[in-house]
Amino acid sequence: MNSACAVVAGEKIGAVPYLIQDNHNGLIFRNKDINDLTRKVISLLQNPERISELGRAAYHSISTLWNAHTAARRFVEFSHALNENSEPVSLYNDGPCSIAPVI
């Protein structure tokens, strides 16, 4: 993602639910579904512009949201909120310290 590559990843890979938004900054294929994987890769090969679009979106996700500065700032904010509330809190809809969607 940091190299502006189009990502095609399996839904069960650890960071996929956090990092990839299907059809926005990458493509997610169903677990162990070789046909789904094949369809998605072929669709990219037939549409090179889409490869560039996904790659740019992937890079944007990493460079603006999923980076060490954002993670550190959010961790500190999350820690303060936890300390004040004494129970788990969710401060962010996406990015570091957000809850991963169930795929």
Cβ atoms within 10 Å, residue 80: 12
What's the number of CA atoms in the CB half-sphere (13 Å) around residue 71? 8
Q: Would residue 20 count as lying in a domain?
A: yes
pTM: predicted TM-score of the whole model, two decimal places: 0.83
Q: What is the pLDDT of residue 89?
A: 66
Q: Would residue 48 count as lying in a domain?
A: yes
Averaged confidence pLDDT in the chain? 92
Q: Would residue 96 count as lying in a domain?
A: no
Q: Would residue 95 count as lying in a domain?
A: no
pLDDT values of the chain reduced to their tens digit, one per residue, 103 residues: 999 999 999 999 989 988 999 999 999 999 999 999 999 999 999 999 999 999 999 999 999 999 999 999 999 988 888 888 766 667 788 899 888 777 6
Q: Would residue 40 count as lying in a domain?
A: yes
Residue range(s) defining the domain that contains residue 48: 8-60
Per the structure, the count of domains in the chain is 1
Give the C-alpha separation, 94 to 81, whole Å: 17
- Structure token pair of residue 11: 């839904």
Q: Would residue 86 count as lying in a domain?
A: no
Give the C-alpha separation, 79 to 62, whole Å: 23
Q: Would residue 72 count as lying in a domain?
A: no
Q: What is the pLDDT of residue 97?
A: 87
